[in-house]
Every structure is written in structure tokens, then in C-alpha cells.
Amino acid sequence: MLVKDINPEILSEIKGKFAEDTLLSENATKNSEAARYFPENRENEIRPPFFHDTDRIIHSKAYTRYIDKTQVFYLCENEDLTHRVLHVQLVAKIARTIGRILKCNEDLIEAIALGHDVGHTPFGHTGERFVSAYLKEKKEGSFCHNAQSFRLLHEIEKNENMHNINLCVQTLDGILCHNGEWLVEEYKSNSAKTKEMLVEEYQKCLIDETQTKKLRPMTLEGCIVRVSDVIAYIGRDIEDAIAVNLINREDIPADISEALGNSNKLIVNSLVLDIINNSYGKDSIAFSKDVFKALDKLKGWNYENIYNNPKKTSEDDKIHVMFNSVLDSLLNENLRGNIKQQYEKWKSEQNDEYFKTSSPARIAADYISGMTDDFLMTSYSELVVPKSFGFSFGR
């Protein structure tokens, strides 16, 4: 017989321990403040709400697809390079380290961190730009991965009963507002934001990706994950670039190395300690002026020498053709082989409301954003490369 309920005495003791919001700072998000878009019966639930969100995220199909999504370096046959699945774990670890010292809600931090990049396309930010350009061409808005992460976890992902997985509003907000590309010296939360305002922000991002720059998390935990996203990738990308012989460690400007260090370990440590020193006991997350200046300069240096390096981008035109070809085939449903089977299965898992509110181009973008790098390349090959008829046509 299945065990469906926990012993009431054990349940009472567990709830008492996990509900100790008094252990958190006055600026932290309390478990008692957790809100969801759809009501749930949590009478016999042993997991705090944000802890439960983490479980829902890691059991989602979107999370599973992290495993073979590029972080920065695609088309490199080097198994030591960072993939998206490792990046989100690094963000979670760094954010929880900061959150623990600042007495913030680590469960909320972990949920936001692990779910923040599920909306990324194959081939990282390069693929993101191509999908966004495609939607603009079709006059169907734009695409940004943070809004797509929200979309996947709030509208598309379903549980085994075909119901919305119903993450907490604070978790979804942190995911939408996580984008670490927009660096600022001080991160302040927007505690006045409502769940209705959050949906409006998300919808604006689907129309115009520049709306991302205006987003502010509603919680301090969201601010911590946002800054931890930068801390997690800035030095790690340097290590990966060195591993593929794109740069040398000695290329990093001396003033940056002096302020932050010249390795991922030193850079992470410098930034985390600076955040803690400048944020402890405060209602915001901030860098010191000198460290922020060095970090901002390092980010610009990374863009020039790593992300936009001609050696790295030399195959991007071919990747662009691949994206457009697969998107056109999805839009026109001109498919065959494995991609046809997988696409039809994916569509069968969506409800009527999804098809009523999503244009054909947006549906194509939703599907391609969930692909891994390898599946996109295999799908393109199936659609474009002629297939052998074998020895004869037979009868």
C-alpha cells in the first residue's frame, strides 16, 4: 500500500523547524510570504514552498534539456568546457553562499538559480539573437531567454496530470528578472510589485527584448541571483577561452587582474567578498565603486576578446541559416523523420489555451528554444541533407 500521509507528530515538528522565518534577516523573503497564481492544499506538505519549487523545476522537462546546451563555446570538441547545466549550478552555489551570510532565503535563491536559464536556445546567446530576429521578421515580437524561462515554467510546462506546475510568484519573478548582462553597481528590489505587474512585465518582454533592462526583482533573493549570474560566468568564460586557445591569461589587463585576480577562483572570491562587505545588513546588493569599475571593464574586455572574437564567431552565418531553416520548417510544418515525431509529441502535450494565445511563429520559437545543440543540428540535417534511397525503391 502506498504511503500517502506523514505521521502528524513528525509533520508538526518538521513544519515548525522549516517555518523558522525568524532566522532570516528583516530584508529576506519569508516562507510565509510565498504566493502562487493558483491555490494549493499544502496541509500535509513537508516541504517549504520555495524548497518545493526547486523540486518542481529539476523534475521539469525544460530542466532536463540543460544537459547539452552551450554556455559560450559551441562546435568545440572539448569535454572540459562549461555547459548550461553546470553554469546554473555555479550560480546556485555562489548565490547561496552570499544569501547564507546575508541571512536570506536560500530555498528561494536555489529555485531561482536552477530555473533561470531553462529558456535559453541552442548555441547560447547567439541562438537567442537569431530566434529574436526571426520573430521580428515575422512581426511576432521578440525573444529573450529570461522571458522564455518564465514562459516555459509558467505557461508551457505541465505535471503528470497536465496541470500547470504552479511555481511561486517570487520564484518566477527572480527568473524573469535574472538577466546578468545588465550590470549595475547596486541592485535594489521592487517590493511593491504584484503578481499582476509581473505578468505585465513578462508580456512586454515578448514584444520588446529591451524591456529586460528595466526589470527589477521583487525580492532581495532575486537581486542576489542576478548578480551571481555575472559572478558565475565572467571568470569561468575566461578559463574556457584559455582552454580552447582563444586567449592567454597574460592578456587580461593588469589593472583588472590587480583588482579582481586573473583566474576564475580569484575573481569569484573577490566579487563575492566585496558583495558581502557592501551589502551586509542592508536592503540592497551592492559592489564597492572600485570593484564595480573593474568588473564592468572586465565584462567589456570579455565581449571584445571572447564573445565577439572573430575566431569564435566564424561559423555564425552557417548557424543562422540552420536556425532559419528549422524555424521555417516548424512554421510550415514541413517536417520529416525524428523531428516530426518529436514535434507532434510536444504539441500533443499542450492545451487548447496555448494554441489560442500563441501564433505559429511563437510556437516554432517555443519548440526550437527547447532543443539541445545536437538535436538542432540533427534536425537540420534531416530536413536539408538528401536521404539515400538505398539499393532500390523496391515495390
pLDDT band at 379 (very low <50, low <70, confident <90, very high): very high
Q: What is the pLDDT of residues 108-122, one digit of tens each?
A: 999 999 999 999 999
Regarding predicted confidence, which is higher, 179 or 30? 30
Cα atoms found within 13 Å of the Cα of residue 154, Cβ hemisphere only: 24
Percentage, residues of the chain above pLDDT 90: 74
pLDDT at 3 over 90: no
Arithmetic mean of pLDDT over the chain: 91
Q: Tell me the average pLDDT across 171-189.
A: 90
Question: Of 49-53, 84-88, 159-163, 210-214, which has the strongest mean pLDDT?
Answer: 49-53
Start-end of CATH 1.10.3210.10 domains in the chain: 46-307
Q: Tally Cβ neighbours within 10 Å of residue 166.
A: 18
Name which of 16-30, 77-91, 184-198, 340-354 the model is least confident about: 16-30
Q: What pLDDT is attached to residue 49?
A: 94
pLDDT at 1 over 60: no
Cα distances from 361 to residues 132, 137, 298, 366, in angstroms, run 11, 10, 37, 9
Q: What pLDDT is attached to residue 204?
A: 95
CATH fold of the domain at 46-307: Hypothetical protein af1432 (1.10.3210)
Q: Which residue reads 535563491 in cell numbers?
A: 109
Cα distances from 298 to residues 126, 233, 255, 291, 306, in angstroms, run 20, 12, 10, 10, 11
Q: Tell me the average pLDDT across 47-75.
A: 90
Cα distances from 294 to residues 68, 243, 252, 298, 328, in angstroms, run 32, 23, 12, 6, 43
The grid cell for 90 is 555555479
Q: What pLDDT is attached to residue 68?
A: 80
Q: What is the pTM of this model?
A: 0.93
Q: What pLDDT is attached to residue 243?
A: 94
Q: Name the β-bridge partners of 95.
A: none
Q: Tell me the average pLDDT across 319-336.
A: 94
pLDDT at 252 over 90: yes
User: Do 33 and 170 touch, CB atoms closer than 8 A?
Assistant: yes
Q: What is the pLDDT of residues 263-321, one digit of tens each?
A: 999 999 999 999 999 999 999 999 999 999 999 999 999 999 999 999 999 999 999 99
